[in-house]
A = this chain, B = another copy of it.
Amino acid sequence: MCHAILLVSCPDQKGITASMTNFIYENNGNIVHADQHIDEQSNTFFMRVEWSLDGFDIGKEDIGEHFKAIANKFQMIWDLSFSDQRLRLGIFVSRQLHCLQDLLYRQHAGQLACEIPMIISNHPDAKAIADDFGIKFLEIPVTEDNKREQEEKEIKALNEEGIDLIVLARYHQIFTENFVSTFRNRVINIHHSFLPAFAGGNPYLQAYEKGVKIIGATSHYVTEKLDDGPIIEQDTVRFSHRDSLDDLVRKGEDLEKMVLSRAVRLALQKKILSYGNKTVIFD
């Protein structure tokens, strides 16, 4: 049964929840999940509501039009989606393929309700896997000199393929501001450290040399500032002097796979609202 999902944020005031739930009730919808949050510092209201369209009086294509009145009244930023939509993912990867492999396996196993029509890489390593899964593979090498024009190719390809969400599954290139602003809040990265610790290059080596007792991984939206966008999900694992740098990498890769796949799943389920440099996760 198809569900509708509304994600909204707006300045807090009385009556928002009542207006939204009335809208659903008066049109014969049955709420299956509802969660809200108020950020007191900025006085912002956030809500995610999901309701069954079984017997709903308004057709899917008209819901947005009908909801507009409420949205305008409360100055909402809002996003309407449907549980039977399958977002289209584009995955960027460099030479470490474990996260890519993990995402493809999970999608195949039904854990990620999406399509994955395109993989882009600055190296040829992922071609074999892409072929295995019947996914279009674009090798687009990037240098400092050709970055801007190569990104234009990427943007064109992503748009032609109708990509909704971009996942950087260990893609070791920094995008220009142009690329970032083109896909704002639509690019999810995995960084192999517990951000903000060890931002930038080679975080595993940094962690090893620092002698930390716990390592982490962080999934976040990409913004103009490197490794600094709104954090979606993090996790950590113990590390000891008995572990070598290789062990650290191995344990870290397990973390990366879990953290990235959770973040992607949250995005597909429309459970993330980002505001300022933070996120609300309706899990």
Contact = CB atoms under 8 A, between A and B. Distances in A.
Contacts of A232: 213
Nearest to A230: B211
Contacts of A234: 212-214
Interface string A6-33: 0000001111111101101110111111
Oligomeric state, in number of copies? 4
A212 B236 contact: no
Contact of A281 (B16, B33, B240): B240
A22 to B, nearest CB: 5
A188 B89 CA distance: 38
Given A194-B194, A230-B211, A36 B33 contact: yes
Q: How large is the interface on A (under 10, 10 to 19, 20 to 34, 35 or more residues)?
A: 35 or more
A14 B27 CA distance: 10
A139 interface: no
A258 B33 CA distance: 30
A156 interface: no
Nearest to A106: B250
A198 interface: yes
A214 B242 contact: no
A196 interface: yes
Contact of A18 (B24, B33, B198, B283): B24
A40 B278 CA distance: 32
Contacts of A15: 25
A241 B26 CA distance: 28
A16 B24 CA distance: 11
Contact of A32 (B33, B38, B231, B277): B38
B241 A281 contact: yes
A21 B17 contact: yes
Contacts of A28: 14
Given A14-B30, A18-B18, A214 B241 contact: no
Nearest to A235: B214
B33 A25 contact: no
20 contacts: A14-B28, A17-B25, A17-B34, A18-B22, A21-B22, A33-B38, A34-B35, A40-B244, A101-B105, A194-B214, A195-B212, A197-B197, A211-B230, A211-B277, A212-B231, A212-B234, A213-B281, A214-B235, A241-B278, A241-B279
Interface of A: 12-19, 21-22, 24-26, 28-40, 98, 101, 105, 109, 111, 194-198, 210-214, 216, 230-236, 238, 240-242, 244, 250, 254, 258, 276-281, 283
